[in-house]
């Protein structure tokens, strides 16, 4: 998956999730075709004394997805990204032996020429074209933080893509390439998907473009840790790093989901993969394409699923609904009078079967609107009207200011102090504190000393920024690292 993004869950028991035991790894972003049963009837034998011959044996017949691959395959794209650099040791033997990608990057990672410099991480993912003018859907974790995104089509054409918007909460991103008359996928309806029906994934696992894998829908409306707004489709389709962002097709060749995560103890496919329903993705896409961000409603409650014991204790006939475990003080639910222990049975007329249904419905509701909640409290059902609030997007102002200060070079620097100047023989310069963008791609790393830009000695961050702003598309930085000085070329933002 893009940028080797993985995240470890030491426990999977969460408020808005089914309980799953053990310690596993979820990866954001074995070709075993599933079998579809077909009944073949044996010929009937007429007889006055014997009953009709029983039906013939059930024969497992492989589902033929070749037509879907031929028709929809050209609309599935390979996405390669250049991510932020990270420091690595000189000796590859120091790499984490538990890292499932350590040997892969040791063998196939970029070879940089400067010693102990950051390694620019290259990632792979998948996506699919939803409009002939180049609109593409993929996962947010595929392109989030990428400095360059390149899209490769099945006809081997390559385009630099622009990221129009990223929504981390749903893990959806919209990117665009400058092209016309492109093949597109057909969008399906995930609500009509049945557990057990065959499905097909197309993507670029480990960089193998346009790889098709098949399986069945294993479950619907799965909730995962920290993914409170997505009722995932669970499948047994083989999904591996590089499949992230690729489409999941039904037998009609319609996209019903975006392959997003796997559930694994080893880092590889183990029969559990999860896709974001396409209707969730398309709602996010519309907001990202129009506004560059996603607006969601919120209630300000934490909810959990009910089991038989809990449902009996709250006077329910079945374990359906969302049990309120906590209410945010001063939030919309608190103002409406909701209490811990309430069981929300419906929201705006929509029945709540599992707890994950509630945040999905609330998120799709326009903030500021008043909606009725059907609530079970103390054995009695009552209706409570709640004014839906707005989910605020977290903003990291310090990171934003930091990016702004790094400017065209992608450098955060400061002047050398007196002791540092003495160590460098009394010369002036700027100490690199953080690296991003063009500087990271060029191999600059924290601890380097910038002595000059295009031959002009630099002594302050403002001076460096001003020189970079007046430069053309590229500059040459004179860098001192240890006892060596070297000119490093940079292609600017």
- Please name the helix (run of DSSP H) or strand (run of DSSP E) that holds residue 213, with its range, or none: strand 211-224
Catalytic residue from among 144, 167, 171, 209: 171
Query: Is 350 part of the annotated catalytic residue set?
Result: no
Grouping H, G, I as helix, E, B as strand and the rest as coil, residue 199 is strand
Q: Could you give the count of Cα atoms lying within 13 Å of 27 in the half-sphere of its Cβ?
A: 28
Whether the CB-CB separation of 253 and 183 falls below 8 Å is answered with no
Catalytic residue from among 170, 204, 244, 264: 244
Spatial distance between the Cα atoms of 441 and 186, rounded to a whole number of angstroms: 38
Distances (CA, A) of 50 to 43, 53, 55, 184, 411: 15, 8, 15, 58, 89
- Match 């998120």 to its residue by tokens: 363
What's the token pair of residue 280?
A: 């969730």
- Please name the helix (run of DSSP H) or strand (run of DSSP E) that holds residue 186, with its range, or none: strand 186-187
Dihedral of CA atoms 153, 155, 160, 161 in degrees, nearest 10, equals -30
What's the token pair of residue 9?
A: 């869950």
Spatial distance between the Cα atoms of 54 and 44, rounded to a whole number of angstroms: 8
Catalytic residue from among 122, 141, 170, 305: 141
Whether the CB-CB separation of 151 and 87 falls below 8 Å is answered with no
Spatial distance between the Cα atoms of 485 and 478, rounded to a whole number of angstroms: 7
Whether the CB-CB separation of 39 and 163 falls below 8 Å is answered with no
Query: Is 244 part of the annotated catalytic residue set?
Result: yes
Query: Is 325 part of the annotated catalytic residue set?
Result: no
How large is the C-alpha radius of gyration of the chain? 27
Spatial distance between the Cα atoms of 158 and 138, rounded to a whole number of angstroms: 17
Spatial distance between the Cα atoms of 74 and 151, rounded to a whole number of angstroms: 13
Catalytically active residues are: 141, 171, 244
């Amino acid at each position: 998956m893009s940028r080797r993004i993985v995240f470890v869950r030491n426990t999977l028991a969460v408020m808005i999730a089914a309980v799953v035991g053990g310690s596993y790894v979820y990866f954001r972003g074995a070709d075993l075709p599933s079998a579809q049963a077909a009944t073949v009837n044996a010929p009937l034998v007429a007889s006055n004394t014997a009953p009709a011959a029983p039906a013939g044996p059930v024969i497992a017949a492989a589902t033929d997805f070749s037509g879907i691959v031929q028709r929809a395959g050209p609309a599935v794209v390979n996405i390669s990204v250049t991510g932020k650099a990270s420091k690595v040791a000189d000796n590859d033997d120091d790499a984490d032996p538990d890292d499932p990608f350590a040997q892969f990057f040791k063998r196939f990672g970029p070879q940089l020429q400067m010693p102990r410099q950051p390694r620019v991480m290259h990632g792979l993912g998948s996506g699919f074209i939803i409009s002939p003018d180049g609109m593409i859907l993929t996962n947010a974790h595929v392109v989030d933080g990428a400095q360059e995104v390149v899209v490769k089509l099945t006809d081997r054409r390559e385009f630099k893509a622009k990221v129009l918007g990223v929504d981390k909460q749903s893990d959806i991103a919209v990117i665009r390439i400058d092209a016309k008359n492109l093949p597109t996928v057909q969008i399906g309806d995930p609500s009509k998907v049945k557990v057990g029906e065959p499905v097909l994934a197309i993507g670029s696992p480990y960089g193998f473009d346009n790889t098709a894998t098949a399986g069945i829908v294993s479950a619907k409306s799965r909730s995962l840790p920290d993914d409170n707004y997505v009722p995932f489709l669970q499948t047994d389709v083989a999904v591996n790093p590089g499949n992230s962002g690729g489409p999941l097709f039904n037998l009609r060749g319609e996209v019903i989901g975006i392959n997003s995560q796997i559930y694994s103890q080893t880092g590889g496919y183990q029969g559990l993969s999860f896709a974001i329903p396409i209707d969730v993705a398309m709602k996010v896409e519309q907001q990202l394409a129009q506004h560059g961000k996603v607006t969601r409603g919120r209630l300000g409650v934490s909810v959990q699923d009910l089991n038989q014991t809990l449902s009996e204790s709250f006077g329910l006939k079945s374990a359906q609904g969302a049990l309120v475990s906590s209410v945010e003080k001063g939030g919309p639910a608190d103002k409406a009078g909701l209490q811990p222990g309430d069981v929300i049975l419906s929201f705006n007329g929509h029945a709540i079967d599992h707890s994950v249904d509630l945040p999905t419905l609330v998120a799709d509701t326009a903030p500021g609107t008043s909606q009725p909640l059907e609530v079970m409290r103390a054995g009695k059902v009552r209706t409570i009207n709640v004014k839906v609030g707005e989910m605020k997007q977290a903003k990291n102002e310090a990171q934003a200011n930091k990016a702004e200060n790094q400017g065209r070079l992608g450098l955060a620097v400061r002047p050398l102090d007196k002791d540092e100047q003495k160590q460098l023989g009394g010369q002036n310069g700027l100490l690199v504190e953080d690296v991003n963008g063009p500087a990271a791609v060029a191999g600059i790393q924290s601890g380097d000393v910038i002595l000059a830009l295009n031959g002009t000695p630099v002594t302050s961050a403002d001076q460096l920024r001003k020189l970079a702003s007046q430069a053309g598309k590229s500059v040459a930085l004179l860098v001192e690292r240890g006892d060596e000085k070297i000119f490093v070329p940079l292609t600017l933002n």
